Amino acid sequence: MSSAMKIHVHHVTRVEGHGNIVVNASNGKVEKVEWQVPEAPRFFEAMVRGHSYQDIQTIVSRICGICSITHSLAATKAVENALGIEVSEQADAVRILMHYSEQLQSHVLHIGYLAAPDFFGVPSVVPLAAKAGEAVKTVIRLHRLANEWSDLIAGRTTHPVTLTPGGLTRIPTEQQFRDLQQRLKDCVKDLNAVVEVVLSVAGVIPRFERPTEYVSLRQDNPATYTFYHGQIASTDCDGTVPINDWKTVANEYVCDQSTSKWCKWHRDAYAVGALARFNNNADLLSPMAKEVAKRFGLKKGCTNPFMNTVAQLVEVGHVVETSIRMIDGLLTKGLKQEKVKAKPKRAGKASGCVEAPRGILFHEYEFDKKGRCLSADICIPTGQNHANIQKDFEALVPQILHEGQDAVRHKLEMLVRSYDPCISCSTHALEVTFV
Amino acid sequence: MGKPRIAIFDFACCEGCQLQIVNLEEEILDLIGAVDVVEWREALSEQSDTYDVAIIEGSITRPEDEERLKAIRAKAKVLVALGACATTGGVNKLKNNFDLDEVKACVYGPDAGKPHLATARTKAVGEVVLVDACVHGCPIDRQEFTTIVRCLLLGKTPEIPAYPVCVECKARGNPCLWEYGQICLGPIIRAGCGARCPSNGFRCFGCRGYADNPNVEAAQDVIARYGQDVESLKKKMSLFGSQQEPTLS
């Protein structure tokens, strides 16, 4: 092979947002490996100041189109925590169902449309439709189900409108919940079909391990594979950290090597996302999800970042199975028409946290006693993963350098995609170095 | 004649409008059959330099993005602004209510002076280049999107409602949210969404921009009738309509 390698992937395709990959090597020696983010900053923390607590989620939902429900939920929880606004048990359960619809939507989008072309060695989902038509149609059906589920509970597929501090403006009828439940039961055969297809190409998932710290929510009481409640947990320590103390976890810092703002906790980087949730909470998965993990040989303690996509597939099984059960719970108790009471009880500052499909997300706001926003701080999963992507690059490139430029480029792009990055989200907290 | 070549570009935004195109589900395969999608970074690996229709998502917030947009305009026969960030500037325009240096310091602290964090006043696409058609909304309505694309492919001018959301809301028989103490922008915002938010019990916050000739006097009457003040209404109007007409007094 040639002695010099120069890779500069400008704006990696099939990811949300803009990211660059730079690799320089000569005579088998790596000189430079960098993961860069040139996305236009949008300044949400500055823009929400002065606005009413009722409008915060409407604004910050627009941080991300793919995880808009997640951002709205994190913001709404933070608003409620700060102002002492309470939420009923029923509204809490319906919100979790709303959140699950987005986990399904985002995971199916990532597995089926963004990652699958890598598994099949094609440039996009369009030629994939010709190559594996039935599989693509199955993925589209699941994606449609997830979106119609979001529509039903959130009022819109993207950027929810039923969510409001104190509860929800509207919940589905009993019949609508029953219909949704039936569709979820019916989709299990589609899920199994997707599992079979991914299994058939799982051999192309690179074998690469790097000891990594994994950070996610954990909920002990009742013990739940959580996306919504709980406290912050890590594979590097026992116990949990309260949500309001998230800054002691994220430790955002400026890195001398690249001047990018990164996160670290017990090591030089940590990872968040489906694999992090799996590594912290796998024993709490639903039976169907456990079965999927078993078929892929995915076990707690996995440190192969490429397996994040498989962990998402496992979670798809979990959210579907859990939602079927939760709808039973809601209907058994009987749906109640609830009036939302959401007057601020105090001035205050607090955080809200949920798991975005791509990892743990923190929102923090401060309000005066009229409920006007004074300050905001948002820490996004992809921002937390950037340092870990860089560390993976540094470990992976020397191992695969002999495979040649195209293979190195392809595997690094695949690695970035496996994190399912949401770069638009993360840029409020990032800085960039241009070569 | 070959198939029309379509390219989709994103600037500062959440990419939720592109997602609505993906959300066409099965229909997107038909659409892709009728045209050649020659560039779409979020979904395809391919990249191209010539196109008949350029679809622009996002606001323009940096000088280098203005140059990129002008280059796209020069190569495109038809240019479409996709979604609120592109058509009006959307929530990104909230930034324009503050001093830009102060905004940077608020988010980036001591690093705010670094050159790559440069930001300028947010502009809608139409403030930088000529726009041939707008797909309004945050996010866009996917059915409206396919209708507009079909019209453009047939050489027709798409019909976009000029009347306010209240018209569609009344047609759906919704109770008025002003009756429930909500400050709803339905009276002055462009319809075409099917009054989706008020139908879900959530006030219209103006994502489609103002209707043609919005009836400001009527809006002021509504404020007075429900005992609200102009300042509260202006605050709601600022979410998607910062520093845009109409202004209330």
State pLDDT tens for residues B6-62. Answer: 999 989 888 899 889 988 888 877 777 788 888 777 666 666 677 899 999 999 998
- Band of the pLDDT at B102, cuts 50, 70, 90? confident
A427 has a pLDDT exceeding 50:
no
Q: How far is A395 from chain B (nearest CA, A)?
A: 26
Task: Please count the residues of chain B.
Answer: 249
Quote the tokens at residue A50: 């002065």
A259 has a pLDDT exceeding 50:
no
Average pLDDT over residues A349-364: 97
Dihedral angle at the C-alpha atoms of A251, A256, A262, A268, nearest 10 degrees? -70
- Is some CB atom of chain B closer than 8 A to the CB atom of A431? yes
**A237-251, B109-123, B153-167: which has the minimum mean pLDDT?**
B109-123
A311 has a pLDDT exceeding 80:
yes
Predicted pLDDT at A359? 97
Question: Nearest by CB to A14, which of B42, B104, B114?
Answer: B42
Contact A155 B196 (CB under 8 A): yes
- Band of the pLDDT at A144, cuts 50, 70, 90? very high
Average pLDDT over residues B88-93: 94
Q: How far is CA A310 from CA A94, A111, A322, in A?
A: 27, 8, 19
Q: How far is CA A7 from CA A158, B41, B72, in A?
A: 36, 19, 26
Provide the residue type at B163 as one letter: Y
Partners of residue A29 on adjacent β-strands:
A26
From chain A, pick out residues whose CB is under 8 angstroms from the CB of B91: 47, 59, 62
Provide the 3-class DSSP secondary structure of residue A218: strand
- Is some CB atom of chain A closer than 8 A to the CB atom of B36? no
Quote the tokens at residue B190: 């462009």
Average pLDDT over residues A114-123: 86
Predicted pLDDT at B163? 96
Highest mean pLDDT among A11-15, A39-43, A310-314, B4-8: A310-314
Average pLDDT, chain B: 89
From chain B, pick out residues whose CB is under 8 angstroms from the CB of A63: 14
Predicted pLDDT at B25? 84
Give the separation between CA A271 and CA A281, rounded to whole angstroms: 15
Q: How far is CA B80 from CA A130, B25, B76, B87, in A?
A: 29, 21, 10, 9
Predicted pLDDT at A34? 87
Nearest to A390 by CA among A367, A421, A368: A421
From chain A, pick out residues whose CB is under 8 angstroms from the CB of B32: 126
- Is some CB atom of chain A closer than 8 A to the CB atom of B62? yes
A208 has a pLDDT exceeding 60:
yes
What residue in A sits closest to B61 (Cα-Cα)? A40
Residue of A45, A67, A106, A126 to mutate for B, most B C-beta atoms under 10 A: A126
What residue in A sits closest to B26 (Cα-Cα)? A140
Highest mean pLDDT among A33-47, A193-207, B105-119: A193-207
Partners of residue B76 on adjacent β-strands:
B51
From chain A, pick out residues whose CB is under 8 angstroms from the CB of B12: 40, 42
How are beta strands A373-379 and B36-40 bridged, if at all? unpaired
- Band of the pLDDT at A433, cuts 50, 70, 90? very low
Predicted pLDDT at B40? 77
How many CA atoms are closer than 13 Å to the CA of A29, on its beta-carbon side?
3
Provide the 3-class DSSP secondary structure of residue A422: strand
Predicted pLDDT at A415? 94
- Is some CB atom of chain A closer than 8 A to the CB atom of B15? yes
Nearest to A242 by CA among A346, A352, A95: A352
Average pLDDT over residues A394-401: 95
Quote the tokens at residue B212: 């043609």
- Which tops the pLDDT comparison, B117 or A388? A388
Average pLDDT over residues A58-82: 95
What is the value of ipTM here, to two decimals?
Answer: 0.92
- Is some CB atom of chain B closer than 8 A to the CB atom of A213? no
- Is some CB atom of chain B closer than 8 A to the CB atom of A17? yes
Give the separation between CA A78 and CA A352, rounded to whole angstroms: 4
Q: How far is B92 from chain A (nearest CA, A)?
A: 7
- Which tops the pLDDT comparison, B3 or A126? B3
Average pLDDT over residues A58-73: 94
Predicted pLDDT at A431? 25
CB neighbours (10 Å) of residue B125?
28
- Is some CB atom of chain A closer than 8 A to the CB atom of B236? yes
Average pLDDT over residues B72-97: 94
Average pLDDT over residues A110-127: 85
From chain A, pick out residues whose CB is under 8 angstroms from the CB of B43: 14, 113-114, 124-125
Average pLDDT over residues A273-278: 98
**A176-180, B31-35, B72-76: which has the minimum mean pLDDT?**
B31-35
Query: Does pTM surpass 0.90?
Result: yes
Interface of A with B in 110-149 (CB under 8 A): 113-114, 117, 123-126, 129, 137, 140, 143-144, 147
Contact B23 A14 (CB under 8 A): no
Predicted pLDDT at A3? 61
- Is some CB atom of chain B closer than 8 A to the CB atom of A290? no
- Which tops the pLDDT comparison, A136 or A150? A150
- Which residues are CB-contacts of B104 (< 8 A; sequence separation ≥ 6)? A43, B112, B113, B117, B119
Predicted pLDDT at B44? 65
Contact B45 A123 (CB under 8 A): yes
- Band of the pLDDT at A1, cuts 50, 70, 90? very low
From chain B, pick out residues whose CB is under 8 angstroms from the CB of A144: 25-26
Average pLDDT, chain A: 90
- Is some CB atom of chain A closer than 8 A to the CB atom of B138? yes
Q: How far is B44 from chain A (nearest CA, A)?
A: 5
Give the separation between CA A180 and CA A178, rounded to whole angstroms: 5
Task: Please count the residues of chain A.
Answer: 435
- Band of the pLDDT at B103, cuts 50, 70, 90? confident
Predicted pLDDT at A430? 28
Provide the 3-class DSSP secondary structure of residue B9: strand
Rounded percentage of chain B residues whose pLDDT exceeds 70? 94
Buried b (16+ CB within 10 A) or exposed e, A208-243: bebebbbbbbbbeeeebbbbbbbbbbbbeeeebbeb
Contact A261 B107 (CB under 8 A): no
A2 has a pLDDT exceeding 60:
no
Predicted pLDDT at A18? 67
Average pLDDT over residues A123-134: 81
Q: What beta strand segments (E) does A265-381 contain?
A: 270-271, 348-356, 359-367, 373-379
- Is some CB atom of chain B closer than 8 A to the CB atom of A230? no
Measured between alpha carbons, how far apart are the two ends of chain B, in Å? 55
Average pLDDT over residues A136-145: 94
Predicted pLDDT at A424? 52
State pLDDT tens for residues B197-233. Answer: 999 999 999 999 999 999 888 888 999 999 998 888 8
Provide the residue type at A21 as one letter: I
Q: How far is B197 from chain A (nearest CA, A)?
A: 6
A426 has a pLDDT exceeding 90:
no
Give A317-347 as a DSSP string. Answer: HHHHHHHHHHHHHHHHH------------S-
- Which residues are CB-contacts of B212 (< 8 A; sequence separation ≥ 6)? B162, B190
Nearest to A287 by CA among A205, A188, A177, A140: A188
A223 has a pLDDT exceeding 70:
yes
State pLDDT tens for residues A312-356. Answer: 999 999 999 999 999 999 999 999 999 998 889 999 999 999 999
Give the separation between CA A428 and CA A382, rounded to whole angstroms: 11
Question: Nearest by CB to B20, which of A52, A129, A158?
Answer: A158
